[in-house]
Structure 1
């Protein structure tokens, strides 16, 4: 059962070494993310599952202790997803047979995708519960996202989610996707849904519009929506800005 969730963006620039001289520009975002992770720890979960967008081969389930790196960004920063555990691996729990489809196939033999590597950096020092990762394809259909979320929530009595994903990348002329007038209303709807813990609104996000706006968080947010079915959390929006023309949100559901 889902007992708490936190939503954070996943730009590698969150890691100060990657941002280098621009690191102070995102200090308030890092603080909000740290506060959200603190809320997860306070919920005392049995298991923490990190969900983030991933391209092949980074899709699937990553066990506790899975490794990632930011060396591709020119810095010697390595991370692990929590600490290795003696629990049975995802393959033996039948994750691959879940109705979430290939979103839940084991992926332990590959490095963490960037979104989960950022999450691992946010979770450095985490000791509250075993941590698993789930990399989902950005094109995963709404229904399959919801089914994957339901499977995650049913995996333990007290499950917490750390949901990684950015909003639209089209909020300004200097944004990665240039300016798109639809980006502001799209991100406003996401912020409103996160603030209200409105799972139905997240589940209803249009995948085609999200793709056009380069909103990488759409699928992970819809996994959250599926996990939250049957619960009535209270939402709090901790951060909502687009410092580089990309929508970044931090929120908690408890």
Structure 2
């Protein structure tokens, strides 16, 4: 997903282009998650007959412990480490409330009664410390998962409903805040991106497309749905998928990927 700098968004908001420009979505109570570190056992056993949609959200070490100070880069996502070396609960809660919780509510509306599990993972050498900020970040992330999935007991390739996303503190390529493999398993998203960046990239993993995004008229202005390829700066996000993309996600969940997948391959085409 191309990134429009937040500084420019702020300037446009000050000019009054849109009162809610860049506004964060409302928090979503009732969207539980689990946090584990490299020293913890990843819970894989599930009860019930339905395989859940599992979102494994990895926080890069540079998100947990930024190498630069806010004074050096005021637009970078920052949080301090707790005394025990783990990210404080406020770090993951802030990420969850801003980028994830509202989106999980929409997923639950699209997939009523279906189990959705969210797991945050930190401090996993080989995974959360990979080089980032370049055009091949997604490829490096995919390679790291293939290499270390068995080491950490990750259910990579166990189900098409398992998704693995790495959150990084800077762009993943030139003016790109995120990349994903269409209908695949892996995505990378930057926390300098818009609040719907995770929903956008994981949307690609679930079969949603740019082509089925839309612009909607609201009571007072227009908004763009989550899968919009290049957001218009003065339009707010709808914080919702279009009806067509909701159907795509429902079909993907219940029927599986539409794209052919060779043995040992989880990647479709790379999409922003």
Q: TM-score, structure 1 length as denominator?
A: 0.30
Q: Flag the structure with higher helix content.
A: 1
Q: TM-score, structure 2 length as denominator?
A: 0.29
Higher relative contact order (CA 8 A, sep 6+): 1
